[in-house]
Amino acid sequence: MRSRYLLVICGLLLGLILPAVHAGNFPMTDGQTLIGEPISFNETGLIVRQSDGAVSARTPWAKFTQSALKEIVAEAKSPKDKAFVEPFIEEVLEKEAKRKEIVIKPVQPPARPVGELGLAAGLSSPLFMLIFIILYVANIYAGYEIAFFKNQPVLLVCGLSAIAPVIGPVVFICIPGRRDPNPQTMMEAPAPVVEESVVAGESGAADGTTTESVALPAEPAPVTPAFPAPIIFRRGEFSFNRRFFETKFAGFLRLIPSEAEKDLVLAVKSSRGNFVGKRITRVTQEELYLQVFKDEATHDEMIPFMEVNEVIIRHKDAV
């Protein structure tokens, strides 16, 4: 019986001694010491169970000294609890702040070219030759466009552009261009010739006298109206494209014709038929739209450039 009482008393003593053994002393920055077993960790602070079994209030991590924080980390039971404390330990922060040293390796510069240099070396490069051919063809095409703009012979301008690149097109763009034929040159109508007919009086009156003859004016002959000579542009002599119609027929592109074009019409002969209109409503890269009359109404006729054979500027009453 006595042995049982001894065992109970020993168990009670051990229960009182064990909390004291696991309790830690955690000094704080204000000089006080927090004694107890850590039981609750979070990002705010720590709660400990004191030796008498009471639970302390949550103490902020900033109040613990560095040695106390290290002791708390050592007594933490899980990595999650340690994670709350480690950001406040200065040694851990210093290790994280240290960056890996960056080693800058020396860069070997490329070797400079040696040997034949200059224009001769450039001419031997395929890339240089390609660029030269593109610029040379563009130079000739510029001469072709300038010939139409200045109304100059195409072969002459393109030939000089090929012989003297850049210089040829610049010279022709600077000189004055030729004038287009004037569609308003009117032919003077011949003056009407009036013939007089003489009517002779009849003789043999009863009294033996003669009647004087009277000259009557003849009726004027019908005068055929004179129209200006038509201006004809034929395929082969001219290239029918957008630039051609915008430069040669600028007056027909207006909504209200000027005095020079009000009595003129544009006749287009194409492979699909002949069309007569007073105005070009639109010009694109591939075709033109001519406003034609049909049954006292107008509509836009689309005529591709490749189908145009001849373009004529003539008077609206000329056939």
- Stated pTM of the model: 0.34
* Residue 71: pLDDT over 50: yes
pLDDT digits (tens, 9 = 90+) for 151-208: 888 888 899 889 988 898 888 888 887 766 554 444 444 455 444 444 444 444 445 5
pLDDT at site 189: 45
Q: pLDDT band at residue 141, thresholds of 50, 70 and 90?
A: very high
Question: Backbone phi, then psi, for 250, in 5-degree steps?
Answer: -60, -35
pLDDT at site 299: 83
Beta carbons of 46 and 72 less than 8 angstroms apart? yes
pLDDT at site 200: 40
**DSSP secondary structure, 179-239, as one string:** PPP-TT-PPPPPPPP--EEEEPPP---TTS--PPPEEEEPPPPPPPPP-PPPEEEEBTTB-
What's the rounded mean pLDDT across residues 272-278?
Answer: 86
**DSSP secondary structure, 248-291, as one string:** HTGGGGSSS--TTTTTEEEEEEETTEEEEEEEEEEE-SSEEEEE
Tokens representing residue 305 in the block: 């450039």
pLDDT at site 15: 52
pLDDT digits (tens, 9 = 90+) for 75-91: 888 888 888 888 887 77
- Between 201 and 243, residue with greater pLDDT: 243
Beta carbons of 304 and 287 less than 8 angstroms apart? yes
Q: Average per-residue pLDDT in the chain?
A: 76
pLDDT at site 18: 45
Question: Backbone phi, then psi, for 248, in 5-degree steps?
Answer: -80, -30
Query: In the chain, pLDDT over 90 holds for what percent of residues?
Result: 6
The structure tokens 């097109």 sit at: 169
